[in-house]
Amino acid sequence: MASGELAALLEQEIALVEKILECQASVYSTVKEKNWVNLERDIDCLNELSSQFSAMEAKRDSLIAKQGEDSRELLAKLRSSLLKSKVQNFALNTYIETMQNFVRGVLENAVPQRRNVLYSREGKILKPEPQSVVLNKIL
């Protein structure tokens, strides 16, 4: 009985991770498109799905503790899906970091310095954080 319950729970977790992967792909595309309204919707979706996944994980851990054995094939499939999720997160973080560095470089060249020069403890010149700039045109 517990084995069937564990298998059913693992199947539910795998389906939930697939939904999470779809949401992550949507987050990546909305960030690239700069569609902030849809980004908020997708982040809310991810938060809801991740809380559901956490609850399922707790239930699965208790089932495995009671039973002592687990369905290896389903666990491997779940881990594979989680690895895909990790890769998508890495791709999104890399894209955001690249765009942030690009914008910082553009702003350093385009916006004149309005503040005094800041120095670190070691006496090196610190680069100021980019200032907010509002454009009235879409680039």
Q: Which of 30-34, 108-112, 120-124 has the highest mean pLDDT?
A: 30-34
Cβ-Cβ contacts under 8 Å for 119 (sequence gap 6 or more): 125, 126
Confidence of residue 1 (pLDDT cuts 50, 70, 90): very low
pTM of the model: 0.63
The whole-number average pLDDT for the span 19-37 is 90
Of residues 128 and 97, more confidently modeled: 97
DSSP strands (E only) in the chain: 118-119, 125-126
**H/E run at residue 111:** none
Q: How much is the CA Rg of the chain, to the nearest whole Å?
A: 23
Most confident of 3-7, 70-74, 113-117: 3-7
CB 49 within 8 A of CB 24: no
The answer, yes or no, to whether residue 139 has pLDDT greater than 60, is no
